[in-house]
Chains A and B, each alone.
Chain A
Amino acid sequence: MGLKRNVGLAVALRYKGKTPFWSYILHRIGGSALFTFFTIYIMALAGVDFASGILGNWLFQIFSLSFGLFHIINGLRITILDLFPNLIRRQREAIWLEWAVFLPLYGFMLFVVFRSAVGG
């Protein structure tokens, strides 16, 4: 009867959710980025050459650490809201606070990556 139940990724991404919805999507990307980063990191430690090459690439570092840092800060927001359901009333403020914590750390991280990229 009728059409298939059809919520492909493209349709889903077009849903007009607000900031928490985008945080959710970035969180998935961040989880995968961290997973990739640590996999490559462990391979590099084990002496795999091409893994060391990727790990040394500052574009790779920026990509995985940006999304990864977001994952960690956003993960803390989710954990806090899960532990204190009463705070969920303040979820909009929680998102602002999250950015207030994220941006300075992000700036610092970019500084460190660029410094080591330039300094060699």
Chain B
Amino acid sequence: MEVTLKIFRYNPEVDKKWHYETYSIEAEETDRILDLLEKVKGHVDGTLSFRRSCAHGVCGSDALRINGRNYLACKTLVRDVGHKITVEPLLGLKVIKDLIVDMEPFFNNYKKVLPYFINESPLPADGKERLQSPEDRARFDETTKCILCAACTTSCPSYWGNESYLGPAALVTAHRFIFDSRDEAASQRLEILSETNGVARCHTIFNCTMACPRDIKITKAIGELKMAMVTGKLD
């Protein structure tokens, strides 16, 4: 079977403006979009640039806009998107080359929510782990699944309009630590989220939830953060 692959191309060294290039290639229904990109790069045009690493939906390198919405190229099959496929870089981040975007602003926002475990209390008497009940662990299980692919943040109209907005991915990370019973910096993080570019910029649009390749209910997590901020309660 033949599919038509239309790819966003931009080489800053020669192009003044971006353009699309179209390739017709042989593919199976069960091929992943990443396989098609590899085919083009390997057999048709070696200059095509895109990020990938694990190729198994774990590293989060290959989030792309495929037929108009964000997916991980390595988790999306031809049969999911049809035989006419348009592949474009993520929205709201600068394009460095072809499908590669500058992730720096994304990670800068991520760093702002203190994305690490904070607990200054002495270790338990046996010097081993800080224990947690299965229920307490389950409280933030979903938000531990984020792979920082940026599919959510770059699907968010609020982020498109304002790159200082922390964005869904950073908020998911904040949720992961704020609702962790072993962490002690919840109030510090909630303070950060209550600033102008924090949770208040979320307009409950759900693009992030639908774009997440790990099925994290992101809008719900942000809703819980909004509530925690207003009530000061973490339940």
Indicate if the CB atoms of B220 and A85 lie closer than 8 Å: yes
Which chain B positions have C-beta within 8 A of A15?
Answer: 65, 68-69, 91, 155, 157, 207
Chain B CB within 10 Å, residue with most, of A4, A21, A78: A21
Which chain A positions have C-beta within 8 A of B227?
Answer: 82-83, 85
Indicate if the CB atoms of B69 and A5 lie closer than 8 Å: no
Binds A, one of B23-31, B120-128, B198-206: B198-206
Which chain A positions have C-beta within 8 A of B83?
Answer: none
Return the contact of A17 from the options B18, B95, B155 (Cβ within 8 A): B155
A100 at the interface (CB under 8 A from B): no
- Per the CB 8 Å criterion, the residue count for chain A at the interface is 25
Indicate if the CB atoms of A7 and B223 lie closer than 8 Å: no
A115 at the interface (CB under 8 A from B): no
Q: How large is the interface on B (under 10, 10 to 19, 20 to 34, 35 or more residues)?
A: 20 to 34
Which B residue's beta carbon lies closest to that of A7? B160
Which chain A positions have C-beta within 8 A of B10?
Answer: 2-3
With A2-B95, A3-B94, A85-B220 already in contact, the answer to whether A20 and B204 are too (CB < 8 A) is: yes
Q: How far is the CA of A15 from the CA of B65 in the complex (A)?
A: 9
Indicate if the CB atoms of A17 and B210 lie closer than 8 Å: yes
Which chain B positions have C-beta within 8 A of A63?
Answer: none
Indicate if the CB atoms of A82 and B155 lie closer than 8 Å: no
B219 at the interface (CB under 8 A from A): yes
Which chain A positions have C-beta within 8 A of B206?
Answer: 17-18, 20-21, 91
Cβ distance B172 to chain A, nearest Cβ, rounded Å: 14
Which B residue's beta carbon lies closest to that of A86? B220
Which chain B positions have C-beta within 8 A of A88?
Answer: 217, 219-220, 223
Which chain B positions have C-beta within 8 A of A86?
Answer: 220
With A12-B160, A18-B206 already in contact, the answer to whether A1 and B102 are too (CB < 8 A) is: yes
A-B interface contact total, Cβ < 8 Å: 84
Return the contact of A1 from the options B96, B205, B210 (Cβ within 8 A): B96
Cβ distance B191 to chain A, nearest Cβ, rounded Å: 20
Contact mask for chain B residues 207-235; partner A; CB cutoff 8 A; 1 contact, 0 none: 10110000001011001101100000000
Indicate if the CB atoms of A17 and B207 lie closer than 8 Å: yes
Which chain B positions have C-beta within 8 A of A11?
Answer: 91
Indicate if the CB atoms of A1 and B68 lie closer than 8 Å: no
Which A residue's beta carbon lies closest to that of B91? A7
Q: How far is the CA of A71 from the CA of B124 in the complex (A)?
A: 54
Chain A CB within 10 Å, residue with most, of B12, B93, B223: B223
Chain A interfacial positions (CB closer than 8 Å to B): 1-5, 7, 11-12, 14-18, 20-21, 24, 78, 81-83, 85-86, 88-89, 91
In the complex, 28 of the A-B residue pairs with CB atoms within 8 angstroms, ordered by the A residue number, are: A1-B12, A1-B102, A2-B96, A2-B97, A7-B161, A11-B91, A12-B91, A12-B160, A15-B68, A15-B207, A16-B68, A16-B69, A17-B155, A17-B205, A17-B206, A18-B210, A20-B205, A21-B157, A24-B157, A24-B203, A81-B204, A82-B204, A82-B223, A88-B219, A89-B220, A91-B206, A91-B209, A91-B219
14 additional contacts (CB under 8 A) given A2-B96, A5-B94: A2-B10, A2-B12, A15-B207, A16-B68, A16-B69, A17-B69, A18-B206, A20-B205, A24-B205, A82-B204, A82-B223, A85-B223, A88-B220, A91-B209
